[in-house]
């Protein structure tokens, strides 16, 4: 019984957070409503972590992020933001591109494992360069 309950709970969580199939015995409307709420919460957390990214989409941010994240399990707001920004790099405004470049100058992130701090990095940003040395980031030529 405990193994069956654990499997049903796991399937329910997968359905609500990563676009998994609905397990038998659950109300589809209720599960989908909960899933939408979780996606909107994730969008808010990403907006707090990367405000320029969210601002670049204005009022469309929660829905745009939710569409992208619907079948992607979360890896935390920082990694969700980073993955979203990389996937939409060509459509970001200047402030969001700068936010992405600064993150990439501070951390090494391969899209799979957790970001690791960099010792030295240089990145192009709109109108200049961002560089990071020993934990301090500077932008030249904005």
Helix ranges, 18-119 (H): 28-49, 51-55, 61-69, 77-87, 94-106
pTM above 0.85, yes or no: no
What is the Cα–Cα distance from 58 to 31, expressed in whole angstroms?
Answer: 28
Inform me whether the pLDDT recorded for 119 exceeds 80: no
Please give the average per-residue pLDDT across 104-121, as a whole number. Answer: 88
| Residue 1: band (very low, low, confident or very high) from pLDDT cuts 50, 70, 90 | low
Over residues 2-54, the pLDDT tens digits come to: 888 888 888 888 888 877 888 888 888 888 888 899 999 999 999 999 999 99
106, 137 Cβ separation under 8 angstroms: yes
**Residue 117, helix vs strand vs coil:** strand
In angstroms, the Cα distances linking 94 to 30, 91, 98, 108 are 39, 10, 6, 21
What is the Cα–Cα distance from 12 to 32, expressed in whole angstroms?
Answer: 11
Over residues 82-100, the pLDDT tens digits come to: 999 999 999 999 999 999 9
Tokens of 109: 């992130």
What is the Cα–Cα distance from 123 to 135, expressed in whole angstroms?
Answer: 15
Backbone dihedral angles phi then psi of residue 74, each to the nearest 5 degrees:
-75, 145
């Amino acid at each position: 019984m405990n193994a069956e309950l654990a499997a049903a709970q796991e399937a329910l969580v997968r359905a609500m957070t990563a676009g998994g199939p609905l397990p038998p015995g659950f109300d589809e409307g209720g599960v989908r409503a909960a899933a939408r709420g979780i996606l909107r919460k994730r969008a808010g957390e990403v907006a707090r972590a990367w405000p320029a990214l969210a601002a670049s989409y204005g009022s469309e941010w929660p829905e745009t992020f939710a569409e992208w994240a619907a079948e992607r399990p979360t890896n935390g707001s920082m990694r969700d933001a980073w993955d979203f920004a990389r996937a939409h790099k060509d459509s970001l405004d200047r402030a969001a591109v700068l936010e992405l470049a600064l993150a990439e100058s501070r951390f090494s992130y391969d899209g799979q494992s957790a970001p690791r701090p960099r010792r030295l990095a240089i990145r192009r940003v709109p109108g200049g360069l961002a560089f990071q040395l020993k934990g301090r980031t500077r932008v030249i030529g904005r």
